[in-house]
């Protein structure tokens, strides 16, 4: 998931060791994996849909339109975990 700068915390408080010792083979393997998985980043492929929705709501509000929050989805029924475990054990 991509994060925007204002969503990130400072790394100053992280307890990161100054130096990590790796064997040469480990480092070579890591570089090989990175090179195989790396691709050119295409920023235009990504869109901040949340910000777009918020701006859409702001525009509607500016136009004097009423903003109505969507209904919360209905919660699924709660399963009895003990009953499910008993059934699973009987089936085994």
| Distance between CA atoms of residues 59 and 37, nearest Å | 41
Task: Give the tokens for residue 49.
Answer: 């849909």
Q: With CA atoms as reference, report the closest residue to 57 among 39, 70, 74, 76.
A: 70
Which residues of the chain are under the pLDDT cut of 50? none
Taking the domains of the chain in order of start, what are their residue ranges?
21-68
Name the DSSP class of 48: -
């Amino acid at each position: 998931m991509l994060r925007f700068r204002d969503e990130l915390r400072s790394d100053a408080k992280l307890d990161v060791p100054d130096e990590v010792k790796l064997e040469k083979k480990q480092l070579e393997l890591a570089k090989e994996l990175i090179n195989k998985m790396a691709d050119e980043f295409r920023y235009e492929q990504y869109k901040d849909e949340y910000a777009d929705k918020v701006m859409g709501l702001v525009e509607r509000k500016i136009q004097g339109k009423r903003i109505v929050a969507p209904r919360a989805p209905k919660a699924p029924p709660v399963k009895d975990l003990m009953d499910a475990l008993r059934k699973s054990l009987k089936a085994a």
